[in-house]
Structure 1
Amino acid sequence: MPLDEPSIPPRNTEWATPFSPVAPVNAEADEVRFVRTYSAGRRTVAIVVTCAAALLVTSMVIGLATAVPEAGGLDSPDGGARAAFILYYRDVLVWLGICTAVVWGTWAWANKPVRPE
């Protein structure tokens, strides 16, 4: 730790009263705690976005795994079942790419350093 930065004691080392010598230090510590809470909030948003993307892709993969030619709508005498299966597979890969990009960007935003103003 550089010498020009004050060390911040834990919040409850002394009762914070208007006459307490640690009241200004506790005020600085509260600012730091606000910054930590804000970045934790960003990470919470990133976790929610990650779970939503994982749920979307998982549901599409489950749909792909259960989309056999015998399932209704995919069976046709012209071999349309295979074509529908390949198109759906392509859609899953496209959505996987979109979800990966969104999750990557969200985590990049969540892990940016936040400085007190």
Structure 2
Amino acid sequence: MSAVFTAKKSGVLIIFSFEGKILSEADLTIAKEVLSSTKNWNIVFDLSQLTHTNSSGIAFMVKTLTKARINQGDVVLLSPNNGLNRLFEITKMQEVFSIVDSLAAAENYFKN
């Protein structure tokens, strides 16, 4: 199963939820389209239902973080599973991204 993507606005945040596996650029087409029209760069990537990602998913997250910071925003990763956490350790993403376990923690991150 490839990735399923949804986006919703929650207060000052945009929550991008991913489900399944990100295996190629094609799995990110809709997410990129939504992102290209956003004006709000306080973004939460809800990874709680994402079971796997490869370099395409990591590149998308890093590019989004860069664009968010250029636009005075940021990206927070929400609830990655143990496998994704291990991947983030290997790639040192936990040193670049804020990773939180709850939506409330993500909201608090953007309040500060």
The TM-score by the shorter chain falls in which range?
Answer: under 0.3
Q: Which has the higher contact order (CA 8 A, sep 6+)?
A: 1
**TM-score w.r.t. structure 2 length?**
0.22
Larger helix proportion of the pair: 1
**TM-score w.r.t. structure 1 length?**
0.22
For the pair shown, the structure with the greater C-alpha radius of gyration is 1
